[in-house]
């Protein structure tokens, strides 16, 4: 079993490194940031040193995300990995993730497409929940698929090709070195293409009885998770125009203390700000898709002071301007 490390610390490291232009190995030189990680995140200097050693070869943020996915199992995916390991094969594991995605994150929308001898596992993330694509989540996700499936099938396979939505990074040479296949950028969707045989290769950890028991447990947990977040999202959606509506107001409507609400949201990997932005961006996309052209009205409906602020928010959340989003083709479902 791979060693565990607090996921919130890794996320903070990636976010911090990207925001100040640090490579991972230079992190200790930023004493203020280093102490923040140690003192405020509940880890020890030894924990940080262990993580530094494991990431020593990570020369850039993309490499960091990939190496992290191979080396560590975030606490947030332990439940799902346990469920996935008992699946019949990769196709069954993806199906289980789609059904029980609340175990990992509500935005993990994976689908399988098959065309003859080639199959693709696509990460679509269509429901608007924040998942951190700017942290190279797709790289980490495909890394997990590649290395975990190798572990449980005993097959040393290589993907046929990989598609990423984001632009080519300065570390592109590391992609081929790591995945061993052609990697394309600026694609319509993130996808890892593999042989159909790999999709149905039996897992040596398959356990039908354990899988059924875990699915029942996961269903109960997912039901509670989705219901809570759905309730909170609905309340937020009704208050988007109210710029002063904060976590205290939301907690009052949920008949909870602000502290309890924040703790509950944290259990699902969310904060008040992240969830509010998620609800906002979903509403924004719907209004744009309906053909609304008066951005001042849309901005006011979403609680922004003006259209300029709304445009900045939209670009930050989606990576596209509103004009680019309007002209973007629908996500393709067929293989290329």
CA distance 99 to 206: 18
Residue 128 pLDDT greater than 60, yes or no: no
The edge-to-edge listing of strands for the beta sheet with 161-163 is 110-115, 118-123, 190-195, 161-163, 183-184
Half-sphere exposure for 176 (CA within 13 Å, toward CB) = 8
What pLDDT, on a 0 to 100 scale, did the predictor assign at position 117? 94
Q: By mean pLDDT, which of 73-82, 180-189, 199-208, 261-270 is the weakest?
A: 73-82
245, pLDDT greater than 80: yes
Distances (CA, A) of 93 to 48, 59, 85, 207, 243: 32, 32, 8, 12, 42
Q: Is the pLDDT of residue 88 over 80?
A: yes
Greatest CA separation for the chain: 57
Q: How many residues does the chain have?
A: 336
Output the pLDDT for position 108. Answer: 67
**133 vs 262, which has greater pLDDT?**
262
Q: How far apart are CA 131 and CA 307, in angstroms?
A: 25
pLDDT greater at residue 228 or residue 298: 298
Determine the Cα angle at 177 with ends 175 and 182, to 5°.
60
* Strand-pair partners of 122: 111, 191
Residue 242 to residue 24: CA distance in whole angstroms? 40
- Beta carbons of 135 and 11 less than 8 angstroms apart: yes
- Share of residues in the chain with pLDDT > 90 (%): 14
Q: Which of 77-81, 115-119, 134-138, 327-331 has the lowest mean pLDDT?
A: 327-331
Q: For residues 67 and 146, is the Cβ–Cβ distance under 8 A?
A: no
What pLDDT sits at residue 90? 94
Domains identified in the chain and CATH numbers: 7-75 (no CATH), 77-126+138-199 (no CATH), 225-327 (1.10.10.60)
Instruction: Return the number of other C-beta atoms located less than 10 Å from residue 207's C-beta.
Output: 13
pLDDT at 102: 64
Confidence bin at 130 (pLDDT 50/70/90): very low
Which three-class secondary structure state does DSSP give residue 118? strand
Q: Which residue has the higher pLDDT, 156 or 174?
A: 156
Tens of pLDDT, residue by residue over 196-224, are 999 999 999 998 888 888 888 777 766 65
Among 9-23, 35-49, 165-179, the range of highest mean pLDDT: 165-179
Task: State the chain's mean pLDDT as an integer.
Answer: 76
| pLDDT given for residue 336 in this prediction | 39
pLDDT for res 329: 44
Query: What pLDDT was estimated at residue 177?
Result: 81
Q: Which two tokens stand for residue 304?
A: 């922004």
Residue 232: how many CA atoms within 13 Å on its side-chain side?
Answer: 30
Per-residue confidence (pLDDT) for residue 330, from 0 to 100: 39
- pLDDT computed for residue 314 by the predictor: 85
Tokens of 119: 């199959």
Structure tokens given for 169: 């990074």
Least confident range from 51-60, 102-111, 134-143, 272-281: namely 51-60
Integer Cα distance of 99 and 218 in angstroms: 9
Average pLDDT over residues 251-258: 88
Query: pTM higher than 0.85, yes or no?
Result: no
Question: Radius of gyration of the chain from Cα atoms?
Answer: 21
- Rounded to an integer, the average pLDDT of 164-179 is 79
Residue pointed to by tokens 């069954």: 92
Give, in order, the Cα–Cα distances in Å from 26 to each of 39, 44, 60, 74.
Answer: 19, 18, 11, 23
Helical H segments across the chain, by residue range: 7-20, 31-40, 45-54, 61-71, 78-85, 90-99, 137-153, 172-179, 196-199, 208-237, 247-253, 258-267, 272-289, 295-301, 307-318, 322-327
User: Over 70: is that where the pLDDT of 68 sits?
Assistant: no
For residues 179 and 193, the answer to whether their CB atoms sit within 8 Å is no
- Of residues 182 and 278, more confidence is placed in 182
Q: Which is nearest to 61 in space by CA: 130, 4, 136?
A: 136
């Amino acid at each position: 079993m791979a060693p565990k490390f607090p996921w919130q610390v890794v996320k903070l490291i990636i976010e911090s490194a990207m925001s100040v232009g640090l490579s991972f190995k230079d992190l200790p030189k930023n004493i203020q940031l280093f102490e923040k990680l140690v003192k405020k995140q509940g880890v020890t200097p030894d924990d940080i040193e262990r993580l530094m050693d494991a990431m020593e070869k990570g020369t850039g943020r993309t490499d960091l995300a990939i190496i992290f996915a191979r080396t560590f199992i975030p606490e947030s995916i332990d439940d799902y990995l346990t469920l996935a390991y008992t699946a019949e094969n990769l196709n069954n594991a993806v199906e289980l993730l789609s059904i029980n995605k609340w175990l990992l994150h509500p935005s993990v929308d994976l689908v399988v497409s098959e065309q003859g001898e080639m199959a693709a596992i696509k990460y679509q993330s269509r429901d608007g929940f924040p998942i951190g694509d700017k942290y190279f989540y797709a790289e980490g996700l495909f890394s997990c698929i590649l290395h975990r499936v190798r572990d449980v099938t005993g097959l040393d396979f290589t993907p046929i090709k990989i598609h990423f939505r984001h632009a080519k990074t300065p570390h592109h040479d590391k992609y081929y070195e790591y995945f061993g296949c052609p990697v394309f950028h600026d694609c319509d969707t993130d996808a890892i293409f593999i042989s159909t045989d790999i999709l149905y290769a039996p897992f040596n950890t398959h356990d039908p009885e354990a899988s059924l028991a875990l699915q029942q447990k996961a269903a109960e947990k997912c039901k509670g998770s989705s219901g809570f977040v759905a309730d909170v999202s609905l309340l937020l959606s009704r208050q988007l125009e109210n710029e002063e509506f904060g976590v205290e107001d939301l907690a009052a409507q949920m008949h909870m203390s602000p502290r309890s609400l924040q703790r509950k949201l944290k259990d699902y990997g969310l904060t008040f700000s992240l969830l509010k932005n998620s609800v906002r961006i979903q509403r924004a996309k719907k209004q744009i898709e309906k053909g609304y052209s008066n951005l001042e009205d849309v901005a006011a409906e979403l609680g922004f002071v003006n259209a300029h602020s709304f445009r900045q928010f939209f670009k930050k959340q989606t990576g596209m301007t509103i004009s680019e989003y309007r002209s973007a083709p629908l996500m393709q479902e067929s293989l290329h």
